[in-house]
Structure 1
């Protein structure tokens, strides 16, 4: 965690120049967030995703983008837009507009999950209830508002922005990189990749992850049709199990070859590429700082996405710093879902299913290419006698690591600290995705999923974004002023580079 005291002169200057303009537009921006929340965009079942993509495209046209296209993919559309500032350098803006499902609407205490209701909550004068309010729609509106306000005051941005918003992040981002490749030649001299969210805790702490693992989403399917054994066209009654083979059991046996009994990866073809034991010189101070920062705190409350899961013991029974090291630098293969035959009331019981599927996510610290990783998995299955197991690669993204000393990271940290953020720099995270692959493609640093602002339960029941923090937390006003400060800081960094 950074321990320097920020010079607030920049914030005072930004407040003086832009504060009134931000205040004048806040009501309209709250209404826009509400409109976006009211438009569902649930990528798992497709509810409203295409309509939401066109809604976002309209907002980008209103922003002043010279090019706006809604591009179909094998899943949901990617929205491409280009804001031409006539500058030499370009900022790549990864983005997403899809959300997770709402669950049972009756469990939402704040009303309809797509209502976009503004009301007091948890001591805050105003929050925006609704799916997508916190992740990702509220922060997207705040960022676009910051860009608009800056342009209206200064005439133009100090850099161009290439936007690539996807509607399939929740389901593995199929087709995203193909769209990015289609527009790569439009992205002139890129210097960074960003995706801003409202990520502050109420204490002001903000985690910023500098590195990402290679990330894959792969579905494996065993079927009677492919195998040539068992039911090939439809499930049959399980009374015939003594004489009919089971594709479901075949899948289970195939999965058992991928990991050892204690959960370690058993795909030999991946081992030569592992780089988790190679610590970059810039990473050790960050790891040491994290150990000191969280000394005495339960790792269950520290690791992203772990709180509330009831995890009492860690894999391998690791303790202390080993927990952090394993999270940061170990590779994993996770079975996130299994599907075959009977899954609950309303489906047929006592059957031998004709097919079974498992959805895997892989998070590898490796220097192998995505093609090499996928090829090694195919070779492993074949070598173990499972040539018939089908592989559907839904997403495959390289890992990437940004330097903490890069101008993009420095500008982001400075702008965040102007608004009370206490920065907690992590050398990497357990996650990965297309933003890392974009940064790798263009050889630029990346800021992903961080930014001034706060809320609760993103992606869960009663999700909300703080609109007015009442002095206890940053609200929409601070989010927009932060965005303006970030643009201003980046402009000064780029100018300084040009004058060297």
Structure 2
């Protein structure tokens, strides 16, 4: 049996070293949309896998940013797949208290010490803590309790357009695994745990309206705004087209047949919703996201059902003409926007894109261009599997009864692991807390506050999950 006490002591004794390793990973930029530091970060991650003794470590070229395959063979009876995204969101146009790639240790009330950096929470900070935990096990025990297959991508923030190519390349190896485990800081700011057993799918795309494609308005360049008296405007046409996609409040999607394939909740889902009603506190989200009121002032069960089971249509940004400070009197010749659709079971990317095209064509907007960017379907698993129970057991050991959600509001390419071609059970978890993902002053807690775990307690939780699973009955 493993000496968990000695592993815990090792983590405590090497706290400063482990914090420094988190900072090192965060100081390496890896902005996938700008191809900034991506290959350098991939090389750094390769070195991390080598240092924990992986017998195989390969940089795998794709049609985009590289993936990484690594394998640690412990001669153990069980094998886990571990997923990693090493890319992060851009920081341009954001105002940070400290430079986003400095990874500075600062106070952020109510926490005495956090590391502030892009990727601190989503998701490089927590991933380096996971590697720290593996190093601690190896230092004390000499080997890990399970075999590990590491699959890392650098395009999650782009919609994972080449992850399927990578998974297909290694699918025969990956099929030998027993389950998929993701680890990361999963506590909310009050210390509670929201444990999602699924992820929505996503379709990301651009819409573009131009005088050239429309055959009206400026054809090649922006013109003086005085010409509006006798010239059609692609931007006004675009605004009306966008407005047709939803109700006036923007909360009901008006594309014909859009909701037709939305799957109703299962009996297991409804049991989980019943438990969530007793523990879910929307005030935590209000404080975290600085949102005062929800759609239609929903509360309780209705709020949960809306969040979990509703597909969404969101405008990420609109760009065209003069978007800088001050005035520039032009009539733009082109306008575009980026949108995303969150998909719930059993919706598909192809289906919603066909319906979007039909909607625009029916209203006469045949000239508006749809430019697909990335997308993948939703996925969902049971919380009754061995890997999920290993995570739940860890939470209960720490006095936490997790909120188990049937599906999260966000998206990641879980389908490649839990549906074809692998069809494996999956779970994600771990103590610790971070915040401001995709926002300025993103952070990861280093010193906890009694409710939220700090780095040492978070790394101990990863150790517990591995040994819980390794010792579970097959």
Please name the residue that 1:59 is paired with: 48
Match status 1:96 vs 2:60: no
How far is 1:491 from its partner?
1.1
Q: How far apart are the structure 2 equivalents of 1:35 and 1:55?
A: 10
How far the C-alpha of 1:46 sits from its partner, in A, is 3.7
2:261 equivalent to 1:280: no
- Mapped contact 1:268–1:380 kept (Cα < 8 A): yes
Correspondence for 1:254: 241
**1:203-234 C-alpha deviation (Å, 9 max, x unpaired):** 43111111222222121112233333333332
**CA distance 1:232–1:311, change in 2 (3 Å):** farther
Residue deviations 1:179-213 (CA, integer Å, cap 9, x gap): 33333233133333232221223543111111222
Contact 1:269/1:377 (8 A) holds in 2: no
- Match for residue 25 of structure 2? 36
Pairing partner for 2:256 from 268, 273, 280: 268
For 1:481 and 1:320, how far apart are their aligned partners in 2? 34
Compute the TM-score of the two structures, normalised by the length of structure 2: 0.88
* C-alpha distance in structure 1 between counterparts of 2:39 and 2:451, whole Å: 37
Distance 1:250 1:492 in 2: 62
Asked if residue 434 in structure 1 is aligned to residue 413 in structure 2, the reply is yes
Structure 1 residue 306, shift from structure 2 partner: 7.7
Question: Are the equivalent residues in 2 in contact too, given 1:421–1:452 (CA < 8 A)?
Answer: no
Instruction: Report the counterpart of residue 194 of structure 2 in structure 1.
Output: 207
Choose which of 356, 361, 364 in structure 1 pairs with 2:335: 356
2:323 equivalent among 343, 347, 352: 343
1:38-64 deviation digits (Å, cap 9, x = unpaired): 222233444323322222222122222
The offset of 1:94, in angstroms, is 2.0
Question: Aligned-pair distance for 1:125?
Answer: 5.8
Assess, with a 3 A threshold, how the Cα gap between structure 1 residues 73 and 386 changes in structure 2: closer, same or farther: farther
Conserved? CA contact 2:347–2:378, under 8 Å? no
| Unpaired segments ≥5 residues, structure 2 | none
Q: Which runs of 5+ in 1 are unaligned?
A: 1-9
Please report how far the alpha carbon of residue 333 of structure 1 lies from its aligned counterpart in structure 2 after TM superposition: 1.2
Secondary structure of the residue aligned to 2:445 is strand
Q: In the alignment, what sits opposite 1:327?
A: 307
2:142 counterpart of 1:142: no
1:398 paired residue among 372, 377, 395: 377
Is 2:290 the counterpart of 1:309? yes
Residues 1:176 and 1:236: Cα distance change in structure 2 (over 3 Å): farther
Q: What corresponds to 2:355 in structure 1?
A: 376
Partner in structure 2 of residue 68 of structure 1: 57
Change (3 A) 1:21 1:316: closer
Please give the secondary structure, in 2, of the residue aligned with 1:27: helix
Question: CA shift at 1:102, angstroms?
Answer: 4.4
Pairs within 5 Å for 1:175-214: 175-201=162-188, 203-214=190-201
Deviations 1:395-452 (A, max 9, x none): 212112221211111111112332343411112222222124432232223334x421
How much has 1:26 moved relative to structure 2? 3.1
Q: How many Å separate the matches in 1 of 2:212 and 2:445?
A: 52
| Preserved CA contact (<8 Å) 1:14 1:481 | no
User: Which range is displaced more, 460-469 or 473-482?
Assistant: 460-469
- For the 8 Å contact 2:343–2:377, the answer to whether it is kept is no
Q: Which residue of 2 aligns with 1:5?
A: none
Aligned partner of 2:208 in structure 1 is 221
Equivalent residue for 1:165, pick from 152, 161, 176: 152
Q: 1:455 to 1:333 in 2, by over 3 A?
A: closer
Change (3 A) 1:455 1:310: closer
Distance 1:451 1:71 in 2: 28
- Asked if structure 2 preserves the Cα contact closer than 8 Å seen for 1:96 and 1:166, the reply is yes
SS for the counterpart of 2:121 is helix
Q: TM-score, normalising length from structure 1?
A: 0.84
Alpha-carbon distance, 1:335 to partner: 1.6
CA distance in 2, matches of 1:349, 1:242: 17
Q: 1:473 to 1:372 in 2, by over 3 A?
A: closer
Q: Secondary structure at the match of 2:458?
A: helix
SS of 1:115's partner is coil
> SS of the counterpart of 2:471?
helix
Q: 1:293 aligns with which of 254, 270, 279?
A: 279
Change (3 A) 1:19 1:429: closer
Question: CA contact under 8 A between 1:200 and 1:421: conserved in structure 2?
Answer: no
Q: 1:259 to 1:123 in 2, by over 3 A?
A: closer
